Amino acid sequence: MAVISRAEAIALISEQNMGELWQDVIKQSLAMQTFRHVQMTKKQMKVRVLDALPAAPGGGAWIDGDMGTKPTLSMAWANKWLEAEEIAGIVPIPENVLDDADMDIWAEVRPRIAEYVGYHLDSAVFLGINAPASFGDDLYTGAVNAGNVMDLSNYIALGTQGQGYDIAGAFSETIGLVEDDGFAANTIWTKRAIRRRMMNLRDANGEPIYSTDFKQSGQTSVAQIWGVETYLAENAALNQNANLHAIIGDRSRAVLGIRQDIEFKFLDQATLTDGAGKVIMSLAEQDMIALRFKMRAGFTVADPITWEGGAAGYPFAVLVA
């Protein structure tokens, strides 16, 4: 049997390109796939957003005659802050497991780390679950506070005589909430179950109500609902809110600041404790090594003032049950 020693296993993992893990995280996170990314060079970073629309004294824009004076317009910007927060974990592995392994341990561990990071990142930015205070409102809370909420129960499917809901129509109206506030509704984030619910909609004669399939967009293979790119939550983070069907909005307004890509370090002498300080594992005494990983990222919503929505406009809306 092929045997991988502890030293060989550590060398194997250390030589791997960490870009592979980074790409795995992107695949596991809707936020990493779709949000606007900015590279942070320090813990805090400003994001400037328009706070006041162009305005002339007296509100005039047209010039009076050939010699009329052109007005000087005023505009204003406000600061939004990105603050890098850390998401991290430690994966302990017994040395005997490494000694006896006849497989690539790193290939087994890497996808699990990516799932962990992607799930908790999406939970924080979409739903606010265990989110750092510096992130501010998550997309769901921000949309609710702005009044951008569409209730599915308001849309009874045509011809069903109360037997079903027109979820396709509700999606269209939720898209409208974003557009009414002056933003581009260019992205839908939703649960996987939505696809079959829309395809199964039938009228009283058994005919499909939603006649547009989940189309694929060119070579990117991104699904669409009513022409809007649609991303299904493969990591089930959105399932934590049973009331939520979808979040819709302008993805360029969701800003993800990356201060540090995933990095890792091996530990073999550390003592691991729980949140209360109780020792749960001594690596040296128990012949174990541990892989510690961390990533630092910040999040904010850039919600500039718009002509349609004014200061109260918000670039996201939610479809709820």
Contacts of 38 (CB under 8 A, 6+ apart): 45, 47, 82, 255, 256, 257, 258
Q: 132: closest CA among 255, 276, 300?
A: 300
Contacts of 91 (CB under 8 A, 6+ apart): 109, 112, 113, 290, 291, 292, 293
Residue 24 φ/ψ, nearest 5 degrees: -65, -40
182: pLDDT strictly greater than 70: yes
pLDDT band at 11 (very low <50, low <70, confident <90, very high): low
Q: Alpha helices of the chain — where are they, by DSSP H?
A: 6-15, 18-28, 30-34, 95-100, 105-127, 139-145, 167-180, 193-199
CA angle 125/129/132 to nearest 5° reads 70
CATH topology (fold) of 6-51+76-320: phage-related protein like fold (3.90.1690)
What does the mean pLDDT of the chain come to? 77
Q: What is the pLDDT of residues 13-59, one digit of tens each?
A: 554 445 666 677 778 899 999 998 888 788 877 676 554 545 556 66
Quick one: pLDDT at residue 2? 44
First to last CA, the chain: 55
How far from 301 is each of 97, 257, 282, 298, CA to CA, in Å? 45, 11, 42, 11
215 vs 235, residue with greater confidence = 235
DSSP string, 200-265: T-B-TTS-BS--S--EEEGGGTEEEETTEEEEE-TT-GGGG-TTEEEEEE-GGGEEEEEEEEEEEE
Q: pTM for this one?
A: 0.79
| Alpha carbons 82 and 258: distance in angstroms, whole number | 9
Quick one: pLDDT at residue 233? 87
What are the sequence ranges of the domains in the chain? 6-51+76-320
Q: What is the pLDDT of residues 71-118, one digit of tens each?
A: 665 555 566 778 888 888 888 877 776 666 555 666 777 788 888 888
